[in-house]
Structure 1
Amino acid sequence: MCTTLNALRTPSDVTPTGKAPARRPHLSVRLDRERCCSAGQCAGAAPDVFEQSDTDGRVTLLVPEPDQRHAADVRLAADLCPSGAIMLTDKP
């Protein structure tokens, strides 16, 4: 199921026209833990922002508004998430 959900997602670093969107300085991260399928891609891509719970294996958010030095890793983590449990919002 995770693979199917990932196939339906559009990577956050590419717009429908194929061009990279303008980056804003702040990022807000939200999680849907119920949707998480415990793949661990997020924790591997951005270990300072995400970790896997020892009790249920699902993602835990360590930093809801990561600074710019983690932005690329967080975007990669969201793109790699097979279930789409990570939602990013650019903040002005």
Structure 2
Amino acid sequence: AAFCSMPFLFVYFKSYFFFMSVYFDFNLSWEMVFILSLSFMMKFPVYFLHLWLPKAHVEAPTTASMLLAGLLLKLGTAGFLRILGCFSFTHNNV
């Protein structure tokens, strides 16, 4: 099922206009990069930040577990990937 979206991703990333290629013209310090990364890590399932997550999936009803896994956790990952382009030039500031 995961390989069904591979052609879509290939076309999306090879196209000229996609939203994740937008670079902003400002400097981020390493502290801001750390804070922004940590805030998005709170949203997507990083194990050391979410010790409650395995227990929540086991104890939750099926619909709540599907919403948790299918919507909330993936939104954090998508948000982190969206701003990852802004972090690409921060190595010059370190």
**TM-score over 0.5 for the pair:** no
Which structure has the highest helix share of the two? Answer: 2
Which structure has the highest strand share of the two? Answer: 1
Q: TM-score, normalised by structure 1?
A: 0.28
Q: TM-score, normalised by structure 2?
A: 0.28
Whichever of the two has the greater Rg, that structure is 2
